[in-house]
Amino acid sequence: MTASTSSGGTQASVPESSEPSVSASSVPPPPSPRPRPGLVQPSPIDESAMIAVSNVSKAFGDVVAVSDVSFSVRAGVTALLGPNGAGKSTIFRIMCGLTPPNKGIVKVLGAEPRSDRDVRGRIGLAPQQDGLFDRFDALQFVTLAAATQAVSEPETAARRALQIVELDADDSRPVSGFSKGMRQRVKLAAALVHDPEVLILDEPLTGLDPVQRRRMIELFHRLGDEGRCVLVSSHVLEEVARLGSRILVIAQGRLVATGDYHELREMMDDRPHRVRISVDRPRQMAAALVESGTVVGVSVSADAIVVDTRDVDRLGREVAPLTQQLDAHLTRVTPLDEDLESVFRYLVERR
């Protein structure tokens, strides 16, 4: 489609879709057998890793939740990234021995958690579901978690775990009166109370404000630096970028990419990035960006423009000075292709 601005009749062509069009017949064979960075390639599973998942599938009736997933995880922080319903929680339940796979093998610390009770005691799980006993205070709840793990001196262990997550063990309020962020930290304390070597945290940042998220992410990294394996799931791309960790990307029950955040974004850099710029002089801003060569496409509305650019960094550097030059008021700059569904569609199409 074509969009135009009224300042000097400037026109720019906008691609009909920011998604790539790829067919099997149009893709030439790679010049060498070396895999493209970030794309999932068949490889031997490292059974010496703290978590080793090999060809795991799980179905519930006719619904396939996980399909032929393989990966290895070592000490430190690793993020499992995927939209709701992608299969993240199912993979976590298999890792904890709570449900068996239909096919494949999962080993945690060298043992199969479904059949090995001892290794289950070395795993800490903070589930996505709230699951707190609302009439308990934090100390009572975490002490109970310690007792179920046969921890000696469970109250002492609970106080230590609550201190780690920066909660007051002497706060006698029932957890029903806690904020979402405090409830998430209670769950994390319960997962930590038996000093596990592997921590599996299912959407632990959901509902937290920016300050709480930052403090939780700092805690994850401290735990990883202690030599623990910390596996964190999320459906929010921004959260995973802040984790700065290795990422496993899962979509529709399949592992579609691995790597760190920057590697995954670099895989998408051969297509324009779409950005909305909310500004009170949209036509003038659109014309200026087209004239500067910063954008390859632009559409204009009453209070914003949507641009396609191949150089996001340059766009970011130019927007503020242009706003001043135009005596305009800039409200917000919002990436439109950074949402998780966009990333997944692109990665799946590239496979």
Last residue within a domain, chosen from 209, 236, 266:
266
Are 115 and 203 members of one domain? yes
Are 147 and 164 members of one domain? yes
Identity of residue 246: R
Q: How far apart are CA 225 and CA 211, in angstroms?
A: 21
With CA atoms as reference, report the closest residue to 231 among 47, 104, 108. 108
Rg of the chain on CA atoms, in Å:
24
Per-residue buried b or exposed e for 163-199, using 16+ beta carbons within 10 Å of the residue's own CB:
ebbebebeeeebbeebeebbbbbbbbbbbbbbebbbb
Last residue within a domain, chosen from 238, 266, 294:
266
Residue 344 covered by a domain? no
Residue 231 covered by a domain? yes
Q: How many domains does the chain have?
A: 2
Q: Where residue 188 sits, what CATH number does that domain have?
A: 3.40.50.300
With CA atoms as reference, report the closest residue to 48 among 133, 1, 7, 108. 108
pLDDT values of the chain reduced to their tens digit, one per residue, 351 residues: 333 333 333 333 333 333 333 333 333 343 333 334 444 444 456 667 999 999 999 999 999 999 999 999 999 999 998 888 889 999 999 999 999 999 999 999 999 999 999 999 999 999 988 878 989 999 999 999 999 999 999 999 999 999 999 999 999 999 999 988 899 999 999 999 999 999 999 999 888 888 888 889 999 999 999 999 999 998 877 777 777 678 898 888 999 888 877 777 666 555 678 899 999 999 999 999 999 999 999 999 999 999 988 888 899 999 999 999 999 999 999 888 665 556 666 665 554
Residue 288 covered by a domain? yes
Beta bridge partner(s), residue 124: 199
Are 224 and 309 members of one domain? no
Are 144 and 253 members of one domain? yes
Helix axes 154-164, 138-148, angle to 10 degrees: 120
Residue 16 covered by a domain? no
Are 107 and 237 members of one domain? yes
Q: Where residue 290 sits, what CATH number does that domain have?
A: 3.30.70.100
| pLDDT for the residue numbered 350 | 55
Count the Cβ atoms, other than its own, within 10 Å of residue 85.
14
Are 225 and 297 members of one domain? no
Are 262 and 276 members of one domain? no
Residue 30 covered by a domain? no
Phi-psi region of 153 (alpha: psi -120 to 50; beta: other; left: phi over 0): left
Are 135 and 178 members of one domain? yes
Helix (H, G, I), strand (E, B) or coil at 60: strand
Are 325 and 248 members of one domain? no
Residue 95 covered by a domain? yes
Identity of residue 269: D
Helix (H, G, I), strand (E, B) or coil at 49: coil
| pLDDT for the residue numbered 206 | 85
Last residue within a domain, chosen from 266, 297, 317:
266
Residue 29 covered by a domain? no
Question: For residue 52, what are the CA distances in angstroms to 26, 107, 253, 258?
Answer: 36, 5, 17, 15
- Give the up-direction half-sphere exposure of residue 161: CA atoms within 13 A in the CB hemisphere: 29
Are 295 and 246 members of one domain? no
* Backbone dihedral angles phi then psi of residue 222, each to the nearest 5 degrees: -60, -45
256, 40 contact by CB (below 8 A): yes
With CA atoms as reference, report the closest residue to 198 among 217, 218, 223, 216. 223
Are 299 and 236 members of one domain? no
Are 96 and 150 members of one domain? yes
What domain range is 294 assigned to? 272-336
Residue 37 covered by a domain? no
Helix axes 180-192, 154-164, angle to 10 degrees: 130
